[in-house]
Structure formats: C-alpha cells, structure tokens
Amino acid sequence: MNKHQASSSSVDDITGHRRLRRNRKAAWSRRMVQENQLSVDDLIWPVFIIEGENRCEEIAAMPGISRYSVDLVLKEAEKAAKLGIPAIAPFPNVSLSKRDQTGSEILNPDNLICQFIRAIKKEVPEIGIITDAALDPFTDHGHDGVLRDGIIANDESVEQITRAALVQAEAGSDVIAPSDMMDGRIGAIREALDGAGFHDVSIMSYTAKYASAFYGPYREAINTGGLLKGDKRTYYIDPGNSDEAMREAESDIAEGADMLMIKPGMPYLDIIRRMKDEFSMPTFAYQVSGEYAMIEAASANGWLDGERAMMESLLAFKRAGADGILTYYAPKVAEMLKND
C-alpha cells in the first residue's frame, strides 16, 4: 500500500465511508437533495405609492425602485398577479401638509392607502393586500405613534392605530400588519375587527421589529427621515435581544395574531429560526430597504454577482424557517423563477 492509499483509507475510516460530495457531483443530484427551495408563493411585494396621477419617482437610495401614483401602480400590480405573486403591501408618501402630531390623515377613508386598496380590489382582485396601520407615514415627527411631550403615548397610539385598522379593513384590506410595536395593539385591533364584523381580516404582526440601522432608504422613500424627532428605541426591540422577541411573539399570539413577522431579515435569521421553532406559527421575514440597497450597491460596483446574492439571501430566509418574505425584489425574482 502506497502513501496515497493509506491516506485515502484513513479518510474513509474517519467518515465511515460517507462521501457527502457524491450528492453534489451533478446539477440533477443537487436539485434532488436540496432541502429548501424558493417559490413565487413565498413572495410579498412592498410598493411605495404617491399622490396624484401618472407619477413615477425614482428613489435614489433604492436603485431600481420607484414610487407610483395609484393609477400607475395598478399596472405593476397586474404584472405581479400574472407572475403569481400572492400579495402586495403598500407604503404611502403623503404630502407634508397632511401630516400632524397624531397622524390623523390615516383615519381619512379616502387617504392614499384606502385609494390604493379600493383600486386594487376593483382591478386586480386576485392579489392579496397587506396594509400597515402604523402612523409614521402620517405624522409630522416621523414616529409610529402619537408623540406627547417627547414621549410616544402607548395607549393613545393604540387607539389611533386600531381606528386606522378599521378604516383599512372597511376599504377592503385582507391583512392588517401593524408595524408600530405598541404594547397591546394586536388585541385591540382583533377586538375591533371582530366587533365590526371583519372576522376574516387577518393580522400579520410585526412581532419582532428591531431598532435597526437598515431602515434608512425606506425613510427616504416615504419622506420621514428628515422629520424624525427623538429615538425609536423606546418601542422597537434592542438588536442585542432574542428572548424579548419571543416574549413579544407569545403576547401577540395570545392577543390574536394570525401571522408573525421579523424585521429586518438577514441580520436576524436566528430570530426567524427560533420563533418558528418555538411557536410553529406562519412566520415571515421583511428584507428591508437597507438590505436591498447593500446588494444593489455592491452589485453596481462589481463587488458581487447581484442576482446570485439576491437569490441566496432569499433562500436564507427559507432555510431559517420563514414561510414568506416581504422583498422589493419580488417581481424580479418571480420573473426569474418563471423562466427557470
């Protein structure tokens, strides 16, 4: 036995004759043993909407993403539905003149979100609509709740958010997804929806929304970045905390949440995995604007393959346990999956 044969034999002894590379040798075998796969059914498309007609504005911090007026976003929603994307989630950029301390415009039954809901329900009824009842796009201070003497008033905010959820449900929203992180808002929304006869309207709770640095481009998209006074760390979760996210999930489930969400996504894969394992609830990840912008910037500079990084990042959410992903890449990914 020569030296090479002895070395090979010892490797076989150590591995018990297992050769894990056998399953990786060809494309067909890699496909056959792949543990997690991404499909169009996993995608939720967040869109930015603006007032007016025939308006499309590029968002500098999010290359390839634009704000659309409702008439134009209808065309994009039709394309998304044809690609098989299950749901769309609107985020409004309303004029500054409509923003105030309490976000009162969110209660207007003809506000931008409600216009979007009614238009989609009429023209593209096959796609689901997921709406956020948080106040930040409607406040003049950029916070998700009502600001009083420099403090976010939890109970007053919950009352306002609950009323907003009813306005959105009345317009035709399928899922209310409150992102504000106020204590008790899930139970209040569930009680209000049921009391008004909206038993079939679901709640997707932003259960673990972290005080993250990855939201910057989003705040440009809805024009709140320059408005923000104070700190959202008084109501978002500290990035160093994991157990706290589980306590939030436990509370939200007890209050009536139908689905849970973790935001941001990639820096919190461990939270996705843990939440799915502990609660076995439909669990979603939000690949936020900063995650999108990083991939796009690195791709534009030639530092990585943008499409491969995009697909790998989304597959990571599936591997971590997510049942679905809110991602600005949804139409592009759906098109790629269709042509694959």
What amino acid positions are annotated as catalytic residues? 209, 263
CA 123 remoteness from chain centre: 24
Contact residues for 83 (Cβ-Cβ < 8 A; gap 6+): 40, 331, 334, 335, 338
Residue 260 CA to residue 329 CA, distance in Å, equals: 21
Contact 44, 206 (CB under 8 A): no
Alpha helices in 196-288 (DSSP H): 216-221, 243-255, 269-279
Closest among 328, 338, 339 to 64, alpha carbons compared:
328
DSSP symbol at 84: T
d(CA 146, CA 181): 13
* Dist. CA 253–CA 261, nearest whole Å: 12
Residue 140: CB atoms within 10 A of its CB come to 17
Q: Which of 108, 213, 210 is nearest to 168 (CA)?
A: 108
Whole-angstrom CA distances from 71 to 105, 248, 310 are 21, 38, 29
Dihedral, CA atoms, 169, 170, 174, 175, nearest 10 degrees?
A: -10
